[in-house]
Amino acid sequence: MTVAAFWIGWLVIWPTVCALIAQSRGMEWWVGALLGLLGCVGLVIVLVMRPGGGSTPHLPPPPPGAQWAQDPTGRHQLRLWDGRQWTPNVSNGGVSGWDPIPDGATGG
């Protein structure tokens, strides 16, 4: 079966089925056929569209949210990142503590 035969069959059979369904629900047959054709046109549009062809701008990923992470100073196991900066909250083996970071100790 060729691609053309497939599409012709689809464009004939699907609107016919939709017309029969519409007629069985008390609507005019042509309403169902029209909706069936519109559905086929929509399907063709979706299949022809290029993936990622939208015009959305490329945005950088958001910065990481607040989380416990490896201590950048290396003095502790974990240090709390508040989403903007490192905090004095630290943790070693599940025991929390407080250790302010000297200026410039993390490099950023």
Could you tell me the residue ranges of all domains in the chain? Answer: 3-48, 67-98
Grouping H, G, I as helix, E, B as strand and the rest as coil, residue 90 is strand
Query: Which pLDDT value is given to residue 13?
Result: 79
Whether the pLDDT of residue 107 is over 60: the answer is no
CB 91 within 8 A of CB 77: yes
At a CB cut-off of 8 Å and minimum separation 6, what does 39 contact?
Answer: 14, 18
Over residues 70-86, the pLDDT tens digits come to 898 899 999 998 988 88
Copy the structure tokens of residue 100.
Answer: 């302010």
This prediction has a pTM of 0.41
Over residues 9-53, the pLDDT tens digits come to 777 877 888 778 878 888 888 887 888 778 777 767 767 776 665
